[in-house]
Amino acid sequence: MSQRVFGTAARLRPFGESVFATISRLAAQHGAVNLGQGFPNFDGPEFVKEAGIRAIREGHGQYARTFGLPEATKAIAARFRATSGIEVEPDAEVTVTSGCTEAIAAVMLGLVDPGDEVVLVEPFYDSYPACVAMAGGTVSHSLLKTNLTGALVARLRGRPCRAFDADLRVRVPATTLSTYPDLTVICGPTERDAEDRHAAVNPTVLFEVLSPATAAYDRGEKFDNYQQLPALRQYVLLDHARPHVDVYTRLPSGGWERRGYGLGQSVPLTAIEVHLDVNELYEGWAAERAIDEDRTAPSGS
């Protein structure tokens, strides 16, 4: 029987020190002003220190409720209402943590199951992927989207079609669905929805990167909605679990034809007159999958 050497969990070994630790160490090493972490180089206000001293003298040194003292949660809820107009229940929808990093970790551990895919929008704080890994989730979805975006932007440069990332909202007026596709290509001027001027209604090609949680919806109900967009000519799905791309093309009859493509093949997007290389789209994917599997694999004894 092999002897286990205890140390950092396998799923966390790919991560090094945080960016805060790196910047603080370099600032101390070079005598530089540390603007990377946001802490002041002077003492806090007197009224804050006095409030802390007073709380200790008055006996407020015991454990608080796990989600914060009532005075704190009520004050936070009141502040949130004043700044956002949204009402939240202090004792059910507010949790006080010791800083944002603890909050991020608590959310990931509480909401992410092993194998879940978490989409991180760059730029993001470097604690996010580590917290996802702690919960057993993966973030490789973002690699496929990055590869896809780079390939499309390069091929569409100087042409009348433009690629938009997941910040663009697309609305289907016939069904009232509003959604954010992973990538949208629009040829010609962008047409806005009459009821939502921030949403586009004339995508030429829509792209989605599948995940275990979204695959059935992206292939089913969402595609049913997308078919109601008159301008849509192709719908492209990138499989997260294997190097495979499905392309749905609208036929002159109004129906849709599906064709699949794997490694070593070229994906013809006739609607925008470009070809995408499956190998290019999945570059680096195998390494990311191996890391994800190593993170989530049970430790040997």
We report the CATH number of the domain holding residue 184 as 3.90.1570.10
Residue ranges with strand state E in the chain: 161-164, 169-172, 177-179, 183-187, 199-200, 205-209, 234-238, 244-250, 256-262, 266-269, 274-277
State the residue range of the domain holding 253: 141-285
pLDDT of 239: 93
Inside any domain, residue 14: no
Sequence-ordered alpha helix ranges (H) in 157-269: 215-219, 221-226
pLDDT of 245: 97
pTM: 0.59
Inside any domain, residue 231: yes
Inside any domain, residue 65: no
Residue type, 67: F
pLDDT of 289: 66
Residue type, 210: L
Inside any domain, residue 5: no
pLDDT of 157: 93
Facing residues of 209 across strands?
238
Rg over alpha carbons for the chain, rounded to the nearest Å, is: 25
Contact of 102 with 125, CB cutoff 8 Å? no
Contact of 104 with 127, CB cutoff 8 Å? yes
Residue type, 54: R
Inside any domain, residue 19: no
What length is written for the chain?
301
Burial 121-141 (b: 16+ CB within 10 A, else e): eeeeeebbbbbbbbbbbbbbb
Residue identified by tokens 């101390």 is: 28
Residue identified by tokens 């600032």 is: 27
Show pLDDT as tens, one digit a residue, over the chain (301 residues).
556 556 777 677 667 677 778 888 888 899 888 776 666 667 888 999 999 899 889 888 778 888 888 999 999 999 999 998 889 999 999 999 988 889 999 999 999 888 777 877 656 787 888 888 888 887 756 788 889 999 999 999 999 999 998 889 999 999 999 998 999 999 999 999 998 888 999 999 999 998 776 788 899 999 999 999 999 999 999 998 899 999 999 999 999 999 999 999 999 999 999 999 999 999 988 876 665 555 445 555 4
pLDDT of 13: 66
Inside any domain, residue 109: no
d(CA 137, CA 143) in angstroms, rounded, equals 15
Inside any domain, residue 161: yes
d(CA 188, CA 203) in angstroms, rounded, equals 10
Specify the 3-state DSSP secondary structure of 105.
helix
CA 62 to chain centre: 38
Inside any domain, residue 279: yes
Number of domains in the chain: 1
